[in-house]
Amino acid sequence: ATAKHRKMGNVDVKLGLVSIVGSIIGLEIGAQNVMWLTRIGLAGPVVRYTYMVLLFGLGSYMLYDFATKDKRAAAQAAKMAAATRSGIALEPKKGWNLPPMMHFPTSGITISFWTVTGVFLFTGWLSGFLGVGGGFIRMPALIYLIGCPTAIAVGTDLFAVLFAGAYGCWTYGVKGAVDVTAAVFMLIGASIGAQIGVTAVKYIRGYGIRLLFAIMIILAGCSVVLKQLELTTIAAWVVMSAALGMCVVIMSGLWKGFKKEKAEKAEFAGKGEA
């Protein structure tokens, strides 16, 4: 999947390498925190409540971002029109520009070394603490905190997960906290699904990806709440139904994209013959 994204120009290798280093350090700290909580018997509830807050908070923000995108675009267009009439250029958005600065040509962004390092340390810590791959944390961070375009955030996140996830598996395995059989089945399923997902990115772009992502993590949060209430069977059904629903929506978008692309090629070929 990462190789496919690379061919499509959706992987910022330089940013991904910085992400890997920061994520691995944060991941190890998070894993050590979980081991300590396990020893005092608090790992389960603390991790679950943290997970719930993160899922609902992140999902709600992304839904808000989607709902207000047209209003923000209209406001920005009005500012640009006013600036054009007055002849005064708009000032660029000011970020935390503490040197040294890092430039990432693929993503088209220049950002403080301290900002990018802090973001990846934090997302790595969350990944290690919650015991997750980190994709649902790192991808929004790349978009909202680093400023990556959505497609590049997806591809770069996959590139980083390839290495940071391997380290996470190793460090938890050393601590005796990995179910190898379950991990193998997850890897097989994820490998197949990732190939479909990479192709779907060609047809479901930008805010469409963000909307699907937001809905999925909110439903995942609902599942965690149900599990905390000991409604394990219902929690499993919520997750499975959400995943199936997302698959149907994505496959539908993929099919429509294929049909549109085929029609455009046929139309172009017809014009060429004429």
Sign of the C-alpha dihedral, residues 46, 216, 169, 28? negative
pLDDT of residue 147: 84
Walk along the chain (274 residues) and give the pLDDT tens digit of each residue.
566 666 767 788 888 888 888 888 888 898 889 889 988 888 888 888 888 888 898 889 888 888 888 887 787 777 777 766 665 544 444 456 778 888 888 888 888 888 888 888 988 888 888 876 666 778 788 888 888 887 788 788 888 877 777 777 777 777 776 666 776 777 777 667 666 666 666 666 667 777 888 888 888 888 888 888 888 889 889 888 888 888 888 788 778 877 877 777 777 766 666 5
Domain presence at residue 47: yes
Cα-based angle 51, 166, 202 (whole degrees, multiple of 5): 75
> What per-residue confidence (pLDDT) applies to 90?
47
Residue 274 in domain: no
Give Cα 81 to chain centroid, integer Å. 34
Query: What pLDDT score does 17 carry?
Result: 87
pTM score of the predicted model: 0.67
Let me know if residue 70 belongs to a domain. Answer: yes
Q: Is residue 29 part of a domain?
A: yes
Q: How far apart are CA 26 and CA 19, in angstroms?
A: 10
pLDDT given at position 271: 65
Residue 7 Cα to chain centre, angstroms? 19
Distance in angstroms (rounded) separating the CA atoms of residues 268 and 152: 29
Q: Are 59 and 154 a contacting pair, CB within 8 Å? A: no
Cα dihedral: 62, 116, 126, 239 (round 10): 30
Q: Give Cβ neighbours of residue 91 (< 8 Å, ≥ 6 apart).
A: none
Rounded distance, CA 146 to CA 126, Å?
17
For residue 219, what are the domain limits? Answer: 2-260
Say if 59 falls within a structural domain: yes
Residue 273 maps to a domain? no
Number of domains into which the chain is organized: 1
- Judge whether 73 lies within some domain: yes
Confidence (pLDDT) at 6: 67
How many angstroms separate the CA atoms of 65 and 140, rounded?
12
Helix (H, G, I), strand (E, B) or coil at 123: helix
DSSP-derived letter for residue 99 is S
Which SS3 state, helix, strand or coil, does residue 119 take?
A: helix
- Which residues share a beta bridge with 112? 101
- Burial pattern 32-49, b for ≥16 Cβ within 10 A else e, equals ebbeebeeeeebeeebee
The answer to the question of residue 268 being in a domain is: no
Q: Rounded to whole angstroms, how far apart are CA atoms 180 and 174?
A: 12
Q: How far is CA 138 from the centre of its chain?
A: 5
